[in-house]
Amino acid sequence: ATTSVTVYLHGWYGQPAFLADDVSLLGPGDPKPSPTATSPTPTGTVGPSPTDTTTPSPTATTPRPPARHLLTGYWQNFDNGATVQRISDVPAAYDIIAVSFAEATGTPGGLGFALDPTLSSRLGGYTEAQFKADIAAKKAAGKKVILSVGGEKGTVSVNSSASATNFANSAWSLMQSYGFDGVDIDLENGVSSTWMGQALHTLAARAGSGFTLTMAPQTIDMQSTGAEYFKLALNVKDILTIVNMQYYNSGAMLGCDGQVYSQGTVNFLTGLACIQLKGGLRPDQVGLGVPASTSAAGGGYVSPAVVNNALDCLAAGTNCGSFKPDTKWPGIGGAMTWSTNWDAKSGGGIASTVGSHLHAMP
């Protein structure tokens, strides 16, 4: 006999963001709203890379930041109980800083951004001029600072040629105004591989050399190359820096071997990363997205030591759990955390332990 179990997948704020069937049990305290959507049962299999003839040919190239293995951290443009920070407060271990978040405007696909006034006040009057100067200083130090689009509450939608144009135009304007190096796609309300792909290729062509593009899909979005988010990643592979999937707020998922693995384990990190690595992304385009503390996510926290073990397992086949991939990927992209603020609140273990480990990897 079989049983059907339902899991709600959540965004960073702990609210329901997605519904998947036949996956795993909810953790204690997770909200249980009435289902509003279903997704097909993940297969864990990978297929050929999809093609999209509607996307214009890009002209930009995407050189990686100086580090071979990258540590990405989200910087919170709001105060939610984590340590409030200026951009200058973000430790040097972070190679990419994703400013969270761009806001939707009244124009379909359009983006807006401004410093949160409450955060500014908490920081003693952090001005836009100081914010821009801090971004410039990070860039001068060899870091990348990008604007994240989405989050659990994000409502930006790119679903037509017109909205793709609006996205590219507004993103480019914000990049010029603030000095951002690129964008992060962290939409949890659905993406179009066709239209978002068009928007990102247009933006990359305008930005030219140095454009940085990251993505932070949920686990359900990267179970198969047939999923729209995975299709988007493959569609923009030529301009993509790294995909840091959120290995948290998920419940259990299928690994590339077809086995079910629970979040919060080394097997979960390695088994799910394997799907992306075998599904068409380059090793340097695959990163491990983890919460900085138990306060940063509703579930899926692992210690920095477990993150390092997963990186070693994927890169060299060492420190694995019961799942050991049949391939080694020494060029594995790196790791990401939500957030630099929660990392600071919990003692900086991601920056110090994971960051130093990443930068010491060959």
Flag whether 274 is in a domain. Answer: yes
Instruction: Enumerate the active-site residues.
Output: 188
Token pair of 170, please?
């507004």
User: How many structural domains does the chain have?
Assistant: 1
The per-residue pLDDT for 188 is 77
Q: Is residue 51 part of a domain?
A: no
d(CA 236, CA 195): 11
Average pLDDT over residues 179-204: 94
Phi, psi angles (nearest 5°) of residue 44: 75, 0
Within-domain flag for 17:
no
Cα-to-chain-centroid distance, residue 186 = 6
Closest residue by Cα to residue 244 from 221, 260, 266, 210: 221
Per the structure, the complete domain to which residue 172 belongs is given by 59-360
Residue 62 has pLDDT above 70, yes or no: no
Residue 217 is assigned to a structural domain of this protein = yes
pLDDT tens, position by position, 274-283: 999 999 999 9
Identify the residue whose tokens are 């060959």: 362
Q: What is the pLDDT of residue 150?
A: 87
Q: What is the pTM for the complete model shown?
A: 0.83
In eight-state DSSP terms, residue 297 is: S
| Residue 317 to residue 294: CA distance in whole angstroms | 28
On average, the pLDDT of the chain sits at 85
Give the whole-angstrom CA distance, residue 205 versus residue 6: 42
Q: How far apart are CA 347 and CA 357, in angstroms?
A: 17
**Inside any domain, residue 29:** no
Query: Average pLDDT of 71-94?
Result: 98
**What number is the average pLDDT over the span 176-198?**
94
Residue 25 lies in a domain: no
By CB atoms closer than 10 A (0-12, 13-18, 19+), residue 209 is exposed
Contacts of 347 (CB under 8 A, 6+ apart): none
Is a pLDDT exceeding 80 seen at residue 88?
Answer: yes
Q: CATH code at 307?
A: 3.20.20.80
Q: How far apart are CA 69 and CA 314, in angstroms?
A: 13
Answer yes or no: is 28 within a domain. no
- The reply to whether 49 falls in a domain is no
pLDDT in tens, 240-276: 999 999 999 999 999 999 999 999 999 999 999 999 9
Distance CA 233, CA 228 (A): 9
